[in-house]
Amino acid sequence: MSNSLKEAPRPVRVGVVGVGVMGANHARVLADLPGAELVGIADPDAAQASKVAGLLGCAAVADIEALTALGVDAVVVAAPTHLHHDIALAAIGAGAHVLVEKPIAPSVAEGEAIVAAARARGVALMVGHVERFNPAVEAVKKAIEGEEILSIGITRVGPFPPRMSNVGVVIDLAVHDIDLICHFTGSEIAEIQPQVKAAVAEREDIALLQFRTANGVLAHINTNWLTPFKARTVHVATRKKYVIGDLLTRQVTECFDYKPDGSYSMRHLPVAYAEPLRVELSRFLAAVRGEAAAPVTGEDGVASLATAIRCLEGPEAARPVSVPSARIRAAG
């Protein structure tokens, strides 16, 4: 055998905790992802766990302790948010790398505890802000690289989701876009002006949120559960162009070359075809193998959560935001 032929690296042994809608999707992708071996899934709902495990050919167990006992290298935490802290700490304590679904935890303190534990144990920690890996988001990000960003407007609306019971639109939906604002600008949120209302649901189902980033970009998020159809759009104005991204149809349009008579040029930008969750999990595996840093860090997740929580605190939220644990994201 030629010495130039290297033995293929061992697949990363991964387990998933929580196999509801999102967790089952994680498991589905991992079962088919090169470089990964789906070892098992954990869920207290034995019937659901057995069903998913049977379809994907892996073990089904009841909890994180039984899952780590199977010898996993990494764990995806897709359980309800109020369980993230305890499950993530148990996985990290067992030496496993962790991807935890957004939001990272119910509170900033619990999120910071997860970050600190991962750092102390020396394992990779990534937060599942999957929208970052939407090909349309990546096309918008590429289009505005090197540009002076002036403003960002994001709309994320749709009908009330029957599965939702423990959080409102700010934590469920707007947290995606808070993260995208920081991702696009390479900055953190410095000031917020929130308007939220519970119109027909128990928790807030309408939110109009305005922000100023530390590097001076104005941004706003319009989100609700009152619109009978889904809409996900991003508008970014820079000094030289205006970029519009539809995150559902994945069409990105760029307006540029403004003329004094009000005319301008327009073009559709190329958008890659890819499943965002598959890209996200591939990036997580690269972080586990030490090939690259996690693209959405625990600090990123805590910063987005802190801003989302501040949006729910009423008029006092208008004061400048300070999140010591948040790092300034590198632009570009």
How confident is the model at residue 34, as a pLDDT?
95
306 pLDDT higher than 70: yes
Tokens 């609306």 correspond to what residue? 157
> Which segment of 9-13, 66-70, 181-185, 252-256 scores lowest on mean pLDDT?
9-13
Q: What are phi and psi of 41, to 5 degrees?
A: -130, 150
Contact indicator for 301, 104 with CB cutoff of 8 Å = yes
176 pLDDT higher than 80: yes
Summarised one tens digit per residue, pLDDT across range 263-289 is 999 999 999 999 999 999 999 999 999
How confident is the model at residue 164, as a pLDDT?
58
**Phi-psi category of residue 247: left, alpha or beta, with phi > 0 → left and psi -120 to 50 → alpha:** alpha
318 pLDDT higher than 50: no
238 pLDDT higher than 90: yes
Average pLDDT of the chain is: 92
Q: Mean pLDDT, to the nearest integer, of 71-100?
A: 97
Give the neighbor-by-neighbor strand order of the sheet with 97-101. 59-61, 36-42, 12-17, 74-77, 97-101, 125-128
Domains of the chain: 12-123 (3.40.50.720), 131-318 (3.30.360.10)
The three-state DSSP-derived secondary structure of 280-304 is HHHHHHHHHCCCCCCCCCHHHHHHH
Q: Residue 109: how many CB atoms within 10 A of its CB? A: 10
52 pLDDT higher than 90: yes
Q: How far is CA 83 from CA 50, 112, 120, 170, in A?
A: 21, 15, 21, 19
How confident is the model at residue 332, as a pLDDT?
36
β-pair type (241-246, 226-238) = antiparallel
Among 105, 88, 106, which residue's Cα sits nearest to residue 97?
A: 88
Among 38, 29, 34, which residue's Cα sits nearest to residue 9?
A: 34
Q: What are phi and psi of 242, to 5 degrees?
A: -130, 125
How confident is the model at residue 162, as a pLDDT?
76
Q: Mean pLDDT, to the nearest integer, of 86-112?
A: 97
